[in-house]
Each structure stands twice: as structure tokens, then as C-alpha cells.
Structure 1
Amino acid sequence: MTAILVTGADLAPQALALLEGHDIVYAGKAPTEADLVALCRTHDPVAIIVRYGKVGAAVMDAAPSLRVISKHGSGTDTIDKAAAQARGIEVVAAVGANAAAVAEQALALLLACAKSVVSLDARMHAGHWDKATHKSVELGGRTIGLVGLGAIGLRFARMADALGMRVLGYDPYARNLPAYVQAVELPVLWAESDVVSLHCPLTEDNRGLLDAGTLAQCKRGVIVINTARGGLIDEDALLEAVRSGHVAMAGLDSFAVEPMTAGHPFQGEKNIVLSPHIGGVTGDAYVNMGVGAARNLLAVIARQPATL
């Protein structure tokens, strides 16, 4: 029986049903590289389903039979794709499996920022009634700039259009965009957007995409939303921009280092709304990502039979 290593503590029953006949090995909720290397040496998996942690060359070298690394989701930045390619290991992702969940989280963060949901809730619970002094932001008629127009970005674009927003989008790989999305280059997106929302994968080319320079090109009072990858934002620059008022609010679901630890400078900032990278964590997305990851790895195994 061939082994499949899951870098997590569980997998949806629907995914497990697809993988019947394989020995499923769980690495736990927070596996280290040493944990994964040890498990690979013990079980020599033919496939790895990546939920948490990073899979680099050392992990791959510990599993001589490894033929496919399948991401439980869409972002593959935690997998060393160059190392995989050099070893003939295919990397696949369950693209679109969590698109609805992440797009909805982006909308939730946008509304929380525009409508001051978190701060007003805290004030109400403290016994205050701020109706006479508070004004929220109305999104209808304002411009949102989306960086990344894949499954998540396009789904969020439809939501923004439904709110009556003008939708700008930047994605050099996107084709056949809907009529309500206006394709622009980044300088135009920065300059014209009242809201900037990130929906692109993290690469070495776009790491720190939103930094002091690009934030300075944005409108004063811009709202920043990130449900993609924390590394897309220079966190020090964003914090400075929030404190200066150049960025009115930021809604963030991902961070440069995860999990966020106590003492992070974002903690306690009243104009930053935080969630612990749970945009794709819903019951439906859990099933969709698990099934997608299982189907993807089975397709690779079927296409690339083991060599004797």
C-alpha cells in the first residue's frame, strides 16, 4: 500500500474516500521541516498533500518515491517548485476550490473597514451611542482596484460591481474579462482606486508589491484589503501609512509571518481589521479543497505510473 502524507491533522471524508487503498499519514496541525523529513523517511510517500508548513528540497529528498505534491488550496508559495521540478516531482493545486470563501472574506473585511464595524461594536459594548458623530464610507460609486483576476479576484469583482463600484483590475495573465472589469496597469490602479484589494499569488517578482513607494501613489484615505499572501505587503510601510492617515483602513487576512505572535505591531491598531488567514476556511471550502487535492494527485499518479 502506497503512502500519502498530509501536512495537517485531517482531511475531508469525501477526499479520503477518493484515496481509499492508500495509507494516509497525518503530520499534525503545525509540522516542522524536521517532522516532515522524518515522516517521509519512515513512510516514503508517493504524494504529499500540503495543508500547513513548507515543503522544500530536504523533504523531497527524504521521499525517493515522491511523484506529486498537491496543494490543499490554490497558493503554492509554501512549496519549493524549483526543487520539485529539478527532481521530476509535479506540483498541482486545487485552483478555485476556495474561491467563494476567500472572496466573501474579502467582502467582509471591506465592509468592516468601510462601515467601522469593529470599532462601533466595541463602542456599543462599552455603552456608547455614536450616531451623532460617526460617518461611514459609502462604497457605491467609488473605485476598487483588484490586483489579480483569477477565480477569487473575478468572484470578488462581481461582488464589488453589485455594490455599484467601478472595478479596475490588473492581471497580465487574465483574458476575456467581464464587461464590468476595466483592465489597467498598476500605476493607474494605484492612482485611481479608493480601495485596493490583493488577489494574486506571491512570487519573488511581486514580494513587497505594496510598499512605501506604491502606497504613496495611492489616494489619501485608501482602504487596503489583503486576503492573498502577507508577503505582498511591506508591513512596516503599511503600518506607517495607516498611522499617518494616508491609508484610512486596512483589512488583513494574511501576514508575512504566520501565525502572528504576541506583540506584532498591527495588534491594537484601531484602523486595522485582522483575521487569522481563515478566508478559505469554511466547511464547503474544506471539502472542495480536499477533494480537489485528492483528484489532482490521483490524476498525476495515473498519468505517471511508478518506474520499477
Structure 2
Amino acid sequence: MSSFAISTSSFDIDNNPPIQQLLQNGMQVTTNPHRRKLTEDEIIELLQEGATGLIAGIEPLTERVFQSASNLKVISRCGAGLDSVDLAAAKKHGIAVFNTPEAPAQAVAELTMGLILTLLRQIRQIDQSVRNGEWPRTQGRLLAAQTVGIIGMGHIGRRVARLCQAFEATVIAHDPYASQVPADVALISLEQLLATADIITLHLPYGPETHHLLNAKAFTTMKPEAIVINAARGGLVDEDALLAALQTGKVSAAALDVFEQEPYHGPLIESGNVILTSHVGSLARESRQLMEIEAAENLLQGLIKAGLINNG
């Protein structure tokens, strides 16, 4: 019997019409038993029953995975990024690959704004002080007075730009591939952005050319008291260099939703001026539902096109 797999840590099967259509077509579904990001060996194990389709999370989908999953014909990423998928290997094995770039964009943009405002107004530290019986009169900073530098002007970066502009912040951006830029956003070089922005937020894909884009040299270039936000991909930031920059005060604060190794257990946990969240950028109820339905629809249409199920 034909089957498909869902490797994301969570997925609402019951309230997803395309998934129900696949099940009504006689397909069986296998889900992620670990409820977290899978390793290469674990995704191989999940696909070992001969799945023809996969709704993918951020696990490594490599040549080795594709060699072991000889029946796999369609991958539908539940999310925007495709850096976890070896696209050349997928093509070689005749596997169609889809993603959902629009669905999670608002959720990630809004989380980014929440992180920026929390850091500027020191909300987390004030909350902790009040709980400890103190009544601090902490002076924060206005977003309206900041220059926000956005690296990556795709679906998410453009939303962040518009939200920052609604707060009357100045927005600058770097993206050599940008095709659309909101009005009043200046596109500049990376070096200029690092030296000019008060807040630097990352919204670009991860790859060999962007590995540790923010490294020790980049942190040295930044303005005093710069704030760094990463809700994109963990490998974009050299976490050791960030910790050093936080310890010296070169970077005043940071917020990370993504890490090179997840779950994260590294030394940034001990830093008081960094917010750490557990890769929850897309996990707003409305966006997540939209993203899951879009991913399932992509899988359904891919399997129909491949002739593996009937359209009806």
C-alpha cells in the first residue's frame, strides 16, 4: 500500500483537508515518533517503509537519505527554507521538491518584532526584577529612534521592514538578490549595514556562502550597543563570536530563535543579555495551520503529477 511520511515535530493531521484526501485515497501515513528535529539516520528510518511522499521539517535530506528511500518522489517542505535539502541530489533521484515560503512569513516577522521590542525595553530583565521583589525604573530605548538593518529581503524581511516602518524606525537592508523592496528602504552593502544599523536582523537562507555571516569580524564592525536578532537559520551566526561580543559589550543584546545545534545547550544560556527561544518562529496558530495545509496541498498535487494517486 502507498504511504507518505511527515517528519515535522508536530502536525495537525485531523484538520488538514489535503491530508484527509490522501488518506481517503488509501495512503498510509507515518509520523515523527521523536517529536523533535530528526537526524539523518532517523529520517532514513522513517522512510524505510517505502514512502512515496514526505512532508519535511528541517532534518538533513541528503544523497544518503535519497539512496535509501528509493520510492520517494515528492518532498514538500513545511516552511520556507530549503537549505536542509540537497536539491542537486533530489533532482538526480527524480524527486520533486516544494516549499511554503509565504505561509510562515507573518509569524516569523511578528516574532522578530517581539524580540526587538523586548530587548529595547529590557522587558525580560524588568519582569525578573519585579518577581524578585524589586521595582526597577529601567530606561529603555525607542524603536522609532533606531536604524534597523535587515539582511535578506524575501517574504519575511519585507514584512519586518514594513512593521519597523510602522514604528517610525529607519530601515536599511542588504540583499544582492532582492527583487522587491518596500518604499523608503535603502539597499546598501553588507559592510555599510553592519557599521550603520543599531539593530541587525537576519532573514536569509543558510548555505556555504552565508555560513557564519555574522562572525568576529562582523561584530567588530558593528556600532557600540548594537542588537542582533536571528530568527532565520542557526549557522548564519558564529555563536562563540557572539558570546564574546556580548561579554565585551560590543553587542549590547541579542535574540536567537535558531541555533547550529538544536536543541541548544551551549554557553549562551548563561548570558543575561540574550533571549533564547526554541525555533518557534513559524509557530503561531494561524500561520502554522496555513503552512501545514499548503505543505499538504503541495504534496497532494506533487503525487498527482507523478501519477502516484488519482486526481479525484
If the length of structure 1 is used for normalisation, what is the TM-score? 0.93
Q: How far off its partner does 1:195 sit?
A: 0.4
SS in 2 for 1:128: coil
1:221-263 CA-to-partner distances (Å, cap 9, x unmatched) read 10001100110000111111111111011011111110112xx
How many positions carry a matched residue from both structures? 302
Instruction: Show the counterpart of 1:272.
Output: 274
| TM alignment of 1:108-147, pairs within 5 A | 108-131=114-137, 134-147=138-151
Moved more, 97-106 or 10-19: 10-19
Q: How far off its partner does 1:41 sit?
A: 2.5
CA distance in structure 1 between the aligned counterparts of 2:83 and 2:65, rounded to whole angstroms: 15
Do 2:161 and 2:182's aligned partners in 1 also have CA atoms closer than 8 Å?
no
List gaps (5 residues or longer) in structure 1.
none
Match of 2:189 among 182, 185, 191: 185
Please tell me the root mean square deviation across aligned C-alpha atoms, in Å: 1.8
Instruction: Show the counterpart of 2:172.
Output: 168
SS in 1 for 2:144: coil
Tell me if 1:19 matches 2:22: yes
Q: How far off its partner does 1:52 sit?
A: 4.9
CA distance in structure 2 between the aligned counterparts of 1:83 and 1:260, rounded to whole angstroms: 29
SS in 2 for 1:169: strand
Q: 1:25 to 1:203 in 2, by over 3 A?
A: same
Q: What letter matches 1:284 in structure 2? A: E
Q: 1:186 to 1:32 in 2, by over 3 A?
A: closer
1:129-182 CA-to-partner distances (Å, cap 9, x unmatched) read 121xx2211121321000111111111111100111111111122223221321
Instruction: Show the counterpart of 2:43.
Output: 36
Q: What letter matches 2:8 in structure 1? A: G
Do 1:27 and 1:35's aligned partners in 2 also have CA atoms closer than 8 Å?
no
Q: Percent identity?
A: 33
CA distance in structure 2 between the aligned counterparts of 1:18 and 1:177, rounded to whole angstroms: 39
SS in 2 for 1:41: coil
Tell me if 1:46 matches 2:55: no
Match of 1:291 among 277, 289, 293: 293
CA distance in structure 2 between the aligned counterparts of 1:298 and 1:169, rounded to whole angstroms: 37
Moved more, 33-42 or 211-220: 33-42
SS in 2 for 1:70: strand
CA distance in structure 2 between the aligned counterparts of 1:77 and 1:7, rounded to whole angstroms: 16
Q: 1:35 to 1:103 in 2, by over 3 A?
A: same
Moved more, 157-166 or 63-72: 63-72
Q: How far off its partner does 1:10 sit?
A: 4.5
CA distance in structure 2 between the aligned counterparts of 1:245 and 1:16, rounded to whole angstroms: 50
If the length of structure 2 is used for normalisation, what is the TM-score? 0.91
Match of 1:77 among 83, 88, 94: 83
Do 1:56 and 1:80's aligned partners in 2 also have CA atoms closer than 8 Å?
yes
1:270-306 CA-to-partner distances (Å, cap 9, x unmatched) read 1111111111112112211111111222232333335
SS in 2 for 1:278: coil
Do 1:18 and 1:294's aligned partners in 2 also have CA atoms closer than 8 Å?
no
Instruction: Show the counterpart of 1:251.
Output: 255
Q: How far off its partner does 1:18 sit?
A: 4.4
List gaps (5 residues or longer) in structure 2.
none
CA distance in structure 2 between the aligned counterparts of 1:176 and 1:32, rounded to whole angstroms: 36
